[in-house]
Amino acid sequence: MTIDDFVVRVATEDDTKYALQICSEMEESAKARGTGIARRSPEYIISKIRQGKAVIATHKDGTWAGFSYIESWGHDNYVANSGLIINPQFRKLGLARAIKTKTFFLSQKKFPGAKLFGLTTGLAVMNINNDLGYRPVTYSELTDDEEFWKGCQSCVNFNILQSKEHRNCLCTAMLFDPAVDKAKVQDTDA
């Protein structure tokens, strides 16, 4: 099996059928890693698909393979690429990299000029973000939109975030500011 056995694309209405599977895999993976995660409902996943703000990977036989979506905050000045999840059957094939890359360019098309950011504890994601052109920053550089930070409430580490008065936590923050940062990869769909 190789990456060529998969299609990575902006999700469409037909993909709403995968929402339940995507949500349960997000929860299972977070449990297995023992790390925190902001909880998402299938309805939320479906809304992201309907807004054209989700990227999905499917195997050529139709099996769901991976997912990520875009959220915007602070009057659309900040955009987060969140909820990256790869079906455990299909990990280490380059799908996370392919999905993150597509989501990175989709974010810039949907929200031109917005600062892109992510919070992660995962080394794979840090490496992918770094290869796209993101850099690590302190939380002071992220959105102060309270709605964004509410997403952390369902994380097992939320008490740490609170004890640090939202200045720090276990996640590494990474930012791509199109005004100052240069993408290190090219948009193959452009």
Ligand X SMILES: CC(C)(COP(=O)(O)OP(=O)(O)OC[C@H]1O[C@@H](n2cnc3c(N)ncnc32)[C@H](O)[C@@H]1OP(=O)(O)O)[C@@H](O)C(=O)NCCC(=O)NCCS
Give the residues lining the site for ligand X (CB under 6 A): 29, 84-86, 91-97, 120, 122-125, 127-128
Nearer to ligand X among residue 137 and residue 180 (C-beta): 137
Nearer to ligand X among residue 13 and residue 20 (C-beta): 20
Q: Would you call 41 exposed, middle or buried from its count of C-beta atoms within 10 A (0-12, 13-18, 19+)?
A: exposed
CB 155 to ligand X: min, Å: 11
Three-state SS letters, 134-151: CEEECHHHCCCCHHHHHH
CB 105 to ligand X: min, Å: 16
CB 7 to ligand X: min, Å: 15
CB 66 to ligand X: min, Å: 6
CA distances from residue 133 to 3, 14, 68, 166, 182 in whole angstroms, order as listed: 23, 32, 18, 25, 6
Nearer to ligand X among residue 53 and residue 97 (C-beta): 97
Q: Would you call 50 exposed, middle or buried from its count of C-beta atoms within 10 A (0-12, 13-18, 19+)?
A: middle
Nearer to ligand X among residue 113 and residue 156 (C-beta): 156
